[in-house]
Amino acid sequence: MGRLSGFRVTITQVFRPRVTEKFPQEKRPKPPRFHGRHVLNRYEDGMEKCIGCELCAGVCPAQCIYVRGADNLTDAPVSPGERYGFVYEINYLRCIHCDLCVEACPTEAITETKLFEFSFARRQDAIYTKDELLVDDEGRARRQPWELWLGGEDDETSAWMRATSSSGNAAYENRVAWSGELGFGVREPERGQGGDPGALPAPDQGGVS
């Protein structure tokens, strides 16, 4: 019997359901806060959310983001503010997907999809430009040839993580605190990990109603 005891774990695993998927034909569902490839969002009227403030580049620990702002033209503004992101680049050879850029952005312009399956044949392909990062007219991420998109990896970007603003304060759970996105409108707020999921903070706590 001692000789068979070593196979106990193996035998018990044989009869359990398989946890593997037929990748790449199928993908396992990603957690809501999964950090993947970035997108630059637009307002519901089509205007860009990025105002070229460079806060995302300043907070990035890997120094993989380069932003250069420019003044908006009065007759043809790109964003609602005085400035917009004229140049926006992310070097994915450096990016560690920490999501600090998302937390630092004051306008929810930069968010992350659930896509992480992409590989590059050329180094220059790993440097995403604004044309590749900016969502299309449907509010969807622009698919690149070297990315493995199977469906709705951009259905829920991490913009809604800001439901716990500011700085993750639990008092802001369940409160909508961001603007609508092109193609998606105003996203539902996050249900917090603790406390009453239906409770709302008092008005004097600074939440946006």
Q: What percentage of the chain carries pLDDT values higher than 70?
A: 79
Does 157 reside within a domain? Answer: yes
- Average pLDDT of the chain is 82
Structural domain includes residue 122 = yes
Q: Which of 86-95, 103-112, 196-205 has the highest mean pLDDT?
A: 86-95
User: Would 24 be classed as within a structural domain?
Assistant: no
Q: Angle at the Cα of 178 (from 190 to 38), degrees rounded to 5? A: 80
Give the pLDDT of residue 160. 60
Asked if the structure places residue 194 within a domain, the reply is no
CB atoms < 10 A from the CB of 163, how many? Answer: 20
Give the domain CATH number at 69: 3.30.70.3270
pTM of model > 0.85: no
* 7-11, 56-60, 153-157 — most confident range: 56-60
Q: In this structure, is residue 159 part of a structural domain?
A: yes
pLDDT of amino acid 179: 80
Total domains in the fold of the chain: 1
Domain extent for 136: 33-140+152-189
Short-list 64, 160, 158, CA closest to 114: 158
Answer yes or no: is 57 within a domain: yes
Q: What is the pLDDT of residue 175?
A: 66
Q: Which two tokens stand for residue 116?
A: 């992480």
| Any domain includes 27 | no
Residue 72 lies inside a defined structural domain of this protein? yes
- The contacts found for 58-62 with CB under 8 angstroms, 24 or more apart, are 58/104, 59/100, 59/101, 59/103, 59/104, 60/100, 60/101, 61/96, 61/98, 61/100, 62/94, 62/95, 62/96, 62/98
**Distances in Å between the alpha carbon of 62 and those of 48, 55, 103?**
25, 14, 15
